[in-house]
Amino acid sequence: MTFDPSTIFSVFFYAFAGLLVISALRVITARNPVHAALFLVLAFFCASGLWMLLKAEFLSLALILVYVGAVMVLFLFVVMMLDLDLEHLRRDFKKYLPVAFLMGAVIVLELSIVLIRSFIGTSSPVQPMLEESTMSNTKALGMLIFVDYVYAFEVAGIILLVAIIAAVALTLRNRKDAKPQNVAEQINVKAADRMRIVKMNTDMAAKQDARGEKK
pLDDT in tens, the chain (215 residues): 566 777 888 888 999 999 999 999 998 888 888 888 889 889 999 999 998 888 888 888 888 888 888 888 877 777 777 666 666 666 767 777 888 889 889 989 988 888 887 777 655 555 555 554 567 777 878 888 888 889 988 998 899 899 888 877 777 666 666 677 777 877 787 777 777 777 777 666 566 666 655 55
If DSSP codes are grouped into helix, strand and coil, which group holds residue 44?
A: helix
* pLDDT value of residue 155: 92
* pLDDT value of residue 26: 92
* pLDDT value of residue 212: 59
Report the predicted TM-score, pTM, of the whole model to 2 decimal places: 0.56
Q: What angle do CA 28, 43, 47 make, to 5 degrees?
A: 140
* pLDDT value of residue 86: 66
The alpha-carbon radius of gyration of the chain (Å, integer) is 31
Contacts of 43 (CB under 8 A, 6+ apart): 20, 23, 24, 27
CB 72 within 8 A of CB 64: no
The whole-angstrom separation of Cα 14 and Cα 199 is 89
CB 27 within 8 A of CB 50: no
* pLDDT value of residue 113: 87
* pLDDT value of residue 208: 61
Strands (E), the chain: none
The whole-angstrom separation of Cα 86 and Cα 179 is 29
* pLDDT value of residue 35: 86
Task: Give the DSSP letter of residue 155.
Answer: H
